[in-house]
Structure 1
């Protein structure tokens, strides 16, 4: 007798039913799809059959799911064609019939991938935000929105008074109004943030009044908020699904739903003005007429993810491709923008020197030479001259104090031999976080209860860097009864009222003051220029000018004191208020040394064998040369005695190599590197990190 053991419910083996092949669409039955795979050798379009049930939804630009490499992956349908040379698998499904990938954005993404040796899927992740299904139903379809409110928008010939102080400013606005595509590098005058924002808003209003769109990119949400307030004053109202409007903002901080809602509003043509941070450079603005990049020297505009494009250069590519005007502006001048001016590719928009002197405060550099007469007091962090300037300024209004570091004591050293203190566990830098607190590691957070200097055996610690919190504490003792406020880190102040107060801020977090600051003290100036970086002088001058622009003009008693022995070139440019001259000098020096941006540079980083293998496979043009490879320290703050314990084969050691060429050879260089990257990826060899036109090369 045979006994059968019954299977437990739910555990019986399932038999897969063979799927009946679905009929294929009769019209344009083949979809070309870009699959979401970052491997360089897969950076191409793949053909898939379009089932009849998806014939109306698998439109170019729609999100789809396809079978690829044995699994379902995401992708974008970029075209529908009549046929293919291959036997095709069908589309799995259409995620959404919304054509989120606009044709002009697809062309821009391809150009960005070519220029920065990236893949199209990597760029599309930056250009198209993730889908939010509920939002797609909230945003009206194209043509169904409420009519935009155009009240307050000037006529194309109405002028732009904010541009009258700049030589060529009104001419630029008139060309934008006429539908032309001028390119300009703008040096904004000193003054509150509202001044430059009003100028941008007027240019945007003129572009909108001419029937074209506008796109403005700023480094952070703070600048975007200032721009939105200026656009409100110019009559370019914010858009809502219920009431319409003329503009939206694209910010990652707003969350996925709000960001996708703004993206769809621009995509469906409800608005023609988009304001946002670096990802907004890919916004699908209809009939683009003006693109603006504010403060292009800010590191936040450089994408930290592959292929690492800079928003300024993305907007430049887009302006050329779509015939839009380009405006790159700031309180300072980057060397990259100066190269455009000197090559004639863009025109300069700047005020006359007499206008600059009338708007700028008086700048005094308190170096050790100027302070020598004070004797030992010259070594004080707040010398007598700075103390007197702060005291006099407090009699007229608020005083700004800029400090390079946040925190209390962000760096400490051995009190005996002055060696920087490191954590004995992870070799990270040590700090004192709060007043009276113990020293601890900034990386792992462990307290340094039993710390001992590895060089001399000392146990005492001394301050090396002083942060905003310690500075505020010292100023509170030096000026009793005066309010002291801190801006920076996670707490950025808004507008400061026009009454006596000390405002301690880190660079970039300086709040506006009603009526302007009476004085400003820029402490620890040498810290700004002490780093070993190519653009250190440019960044130092930019930070000083940003703070000094918020101070009242010299005719109203405004004074700025730069305290410390910083590098001479940016110090002199700051005293003269001449960022354009400093940028021109920097560009000339870099041209003599063949450094970027005078030369085109590509940085290769990876294991030594991988970098050598990529260079061996790359056929570079005759004018290109290779510097390196040289060992790269991933964590330069780790001391030598800690690195000596890390043993690794020479071929696996991380190195860096530079490929340098003339700009005329740049397309050939990046094309050869892209081809070599694809060949290595197809052979599953280690991929090398490639950064094209980086802001820093060491």
Structure 2
């Protein structure tokens, strides 16, 4: 109940040695930092006269709660409280800086309600930790800077509705669109043009991208259009001081344009005119901390709340973005087919009848002759070649060479892999190595197949390190560069080279790649995941977009069956039609985004207890519970919301799926929030992880 206070005391409002209440607005409504779901509401406190000037709305304070001092944010100041008892006073003011705006507080509440979380958990994501030295130092005020008028790159002119969208932004109107970006490197400048049009209308903008490399590219484009003085970067790897300094520049109104990673969607930009979310299908947009919000959904909530424009873009926007178009809430921005043909590379599949007739061994070859020929031609023309490999490592998965049974750890039954050619076998689940054979060659391990007793192993999955080794032997005179977990390259020069990369780590080549080879398509398409095809197309398109256009000789070879719809979508460069088809199939089967889904993970007793106290909405469909294999297990979260001890290690972790029609999604979130509150009040905080709209549904 809003306006209540858990810290009612028997002492009078004023006692000897205690400051009297503030003369004006003596009541502060505080969002207390507590993980307990049943206490997820604001509480009223008395504002002492000596804190009246510091305890302003949006400032940080310390309060006494449940017998101890905790942090909190002042949401508002009031003349009186609805609570009938006496109010406990604020303990102290941490800082008079108003870091939580009213708009962001309302957004945080909406996000918590959507994801069955608590306001405190969302505020931890929205407001960075305080850095006292940075806050006390004056943040220099900078002029906004002039924006070049009429910035309309020809890329937007290729879209039938592109110029009208920019005109609407410049006129102060708020359009909402899902944008299928053109192949090539133009997307940062197109985002900058949209932001520039918004800034010319006197409003601010927020651009959210998946990782720091995208931040750097978009920032460089924004500086050219709106200037360095008005643009700030918000991302976690800046460090506490730089990140908080950038946040203060935004909250104090000294910066109107923000570009950053997922937490930047909460940036308190004054008079927000445009929100841009790039590549909403990237899993980096899914917050790994409770209540696990997704950047796209937070942006939609904020656009609705603030009435600002929203642009969700990518080479392959998700079916969730497509649902916004189907519902009439956003309009599509799709490039006409003739324009696509002028910009896209030529895409071919190795699994075509023509290639099988020409090269019968192509069905079994990991690097068919078509891919080798294409790479040689591009290198001979002086261009680099990009090779995308779905898995990192050397041999991430092995199997018996005789019976093909997967090699498993004898301790936990996890998959065995090898990190290098001379490396020992190691379990990918528990990390235990298989002892080395005393008299065997280097890298040989004491392993015997439990099925056929063979000691021979073969690679069932090949990683980027092994691929780089194989290609280095196949192209001995060509430099080989790798980009992945051990080191991500931002760019490569326009010279002959083989660039081996895992998905998402592809560097940009000056002038574009002459060829892009997409290997091991089965590894992406064969994943037991609802989004396997969608994710494969997104990753393929992101790499293929780095190739030169077909008129300039750019070619893409995808190692997959040409008859698959997802492969045809890449060949035709028609992700919009694929997204529409995917949405139709999911709606027919009752999968998101046509429905809303919640996952509950934890010990069997904890899952059963939560289900017993949950008042599910009408039409809810229960799937499970089923045992969760160890690699798929997420760190469990107590019923209160934050990380903690999981279920008894001796017990089995189970997963329950709850599915409801989309229109009952809010009711499902409310029911789960209420149930978690009941368990929290009982102190029944056995490890549970409750997540709505999970990114991965296995």
SS at 1:584 equivalent: helix
For residues 397 and 563 of structure 2, the distance between their equivalents in structure 1, rounded to whole angstroms, comes to 22
Partner of residue 40, structure 1: 37
Quick check: 1:154 aligned with 2:154?
Answer: no
Partner of residue 25, structure 1: 22
For residues 198 and 159 of structure 1, the distance between their equivalents in structure 2, rounded to whole angstroms, comes to 10
Residues 437, 520 of structure 1: alpha-carbon distance in 2 compared, 3 angstrom cutoff: same
Partner of residue 514, structure 2: 518
Question: Any unmatched runs of 5+ in structure 2?
Answer: 1-14, 437-445, 634-646
Partner of residue 248, structure 2: 264
- CA RMSD across the alignment: 2.1
SS at 1:274 equivalent: strand
CA offset digits 1:262-308 (Å, max 9, x no partner): 00000000001111000001111000000000000000001111111
Q: Is the 8 A contact 1:521 1:561 kept in 2?
A: yes
Moved more, 283-292 or 395-404: 395-404
Q: Is the 8 A contact 1:113 1:123 kept in 2?
A: yes
For residues 36 and 546 of structure 1, the distance between their equivalents in structure 2, rounded to whole angstroms, comes to 40
Q: Is the 8 A contact 1:58 1:64 kept in 2?
A: yes
Quick check: 1:226 aligned with 2:217?
Answer: yes
Partner of residue 106, structure 2: 107
Partner of residue 200, structure 1: 191
Q: Following superposition of structure 1 onto structure 2, how do residues 545-694 of structure 1 map, counting pairs within 5 Å?
A: 545-565=541-561, 568-635=564-631, 653-686=652-685, 688-694=688-694
Q: Shift of the alpha carbon at 1:556? A: 1.3
CA offset digits 1:6-62 (Å, max 9, x no partner): xxxxxxxxxxxx972332222222211111111100101112211111111011111
For residues 262 and 532 of structure 2, the distance between their equivalents in structure 1, rounded to whole angstroms, comes to 22
Q: Following superposition of structure 1 onto structure 2, how do residues 157-556 of structure 1 map, counting pairs within 5 Å?
A: 159-192=152-185, 195-237=186-228, 245-367=229-351, 369-373=353-357, 374-376=359-361, 378-396=363-381, 397-442=383-428, 443-444=430-431, 446-449=433-436, 450-556=446-552
SS at 1:232 equivalent: helix
Q: Is the 8 A contact 2:179 2:312 kept in 1?
A: yes
Residues 252, 649 of structure 1: alpha-carbon distance in 2 compared, 3 angstrom cutoff: closer
SS at 1:600 equivalent: strand
SS at 1:167 equivalent: coil
Q: Is the 8 A contact 1:186 1:350 kept in 2?
A: yes
Q: Is the 8 A contact 1:371 1:378 kept in 2?
A: no
SS at 1:191 equivalent: coil
SS at 1:185 equivalent: strand
For residues 303 and 329 of structure 2, the distance between their equivalents in structure 1, rounded to whole angstroms, comes to 12
Q: Is the 8 A contact 1:537 1:567 kept in 2?
A: no
Question: Any unmatched runs of 5+ in structure 1?
Answer: 1-17, 238-244, 638-647
Q: Is the 8 A contact 1:102 1:284 kept in 2?
A: yes
For residues 472 and 212 of structure 2, the distance between their equivalents in structure 1, rounded to whole angstroms, comes to 31
SS at 1:340 equivalent: helix
Q: Shift of the alpha carbon at 1:632? A: 2.7
Quick check: 1:133 aligned with 2:132?
Answer: yes
CA offset digits 1:201-226 (Å, max 9, x no partner): 01111111110000000000010011
For residues 542 and 253 of structure 1, the distance between their equivalents in structure 2, rounded to whole angstroms, comes to 25
SS at 1:48 equivalent: strand
For residues 488 and 61 of structure 1, the distance between their equivalents in structure 2, rounded to whole angstroms, comes to 41
CA offset digits 1:469-528 (Å, max 9, x no partner): 211121121112111111111311232222211111111111111111111111111111
For residues 259 and 115 of structure 1, the distance between their equivalents in structure 2, rounded to whole angstroms, comes to 27
Q: How many residues align?
A: 656
For residues 471 and 123 of structure 1, the distance between their equivalents in structure 2, rounded to whole angstroms, comes to 42
For residues 168 and 481 of structure 2, the distance between their equivalents in structure 1, rounded to whole angstroms, comes to 45
Q: Is the 8 A contact 1:529 1:566 kept in 2?
A: no
Residues 447, 649 of structure 1: alpha-carbon distance in 2 compared, 3 angstrom cutoff: closer
For residues 651 and 476 of structure 1, the distance between their equivalents in structure 2, rounded to whole angstroms, comes to 47
Residues 31, 445 of structure 1: alpha-carbon distance in 2 compared, 3 angstrom cutoff: same
TM-score between both structures, scaled by the size of structure 2: 0.90
Moved more, 256-265 or 605-614: 605-614
SS at 1:351 equivalent: coil
For residues 72 and 273 of structure 1, the distance between their equivalents in structure 2, rounded to whole angstroms, comes to 37
Q: Is the 8 A contact 1:126 1:279 kept in 2?
A: yes
CA offset digits 1:79-125 (Å, max 9, x no partner): 11223322122111111111111111000000001111000000000
Partner of residue 89, structure 2: 90
Q: Is the 8 A contact 1:440 1:448 kept in 2?
A: no
Q: Shift of the alpha carbon at 1:388? A: 1.0
Q: Is the 8 A contact 1:414 1:461 kept in 2?
A: yes
SS at 2:482 equivalent: strand
Moved more, 437-446 or 526-535: 437-446
Q: Is the 8 A contact 2:151 2:193 kept in 1?
A: no
Q: Shift of the alpha carbon at 1:398? A: 1.1
SS at 2:626 equivalent: strand
For residues 128 and 650 of structure 1, the distance between their equivalents in structure 2, rounded to whole angstroms, comes to 35
SS at 2:678 equivalent: helix
For residues 477 and 158 of structure 1, the distance between their equivalents in structure 2, rounded to whole angstroms, comes to 49
Q: Is the 8 A contact 1:600 1:662 kept in 2?
A: yes
SS at 2:333 equivalent: strand
Residues 537, 158 of structure 1: alpha-carbon distance in 2 compared, 3 angstrom cutoff: closer
Q: Is the 8 A contact 1:292 1:328 kept in 2?
A: yes
Q: Is the 8 A contact 2:351 2:363 kept in 1?
A: no
Q: Is the 8 A contact 2:351 2:362 kept in 1?
A: no
Q: Is the 8 A contact 2:121 2:291 kept in 1?
A: yes
Q: Is the 8 A contact 1:154 1:206 kept in 2?
A: no
Moved more, 669-678 or 248-257: 669-678
Q: Is the 8 A contact 1:487 1:493 kept in 2?
A: yes
TM-score between both structures, scaled by the size of structure 1: 0.90
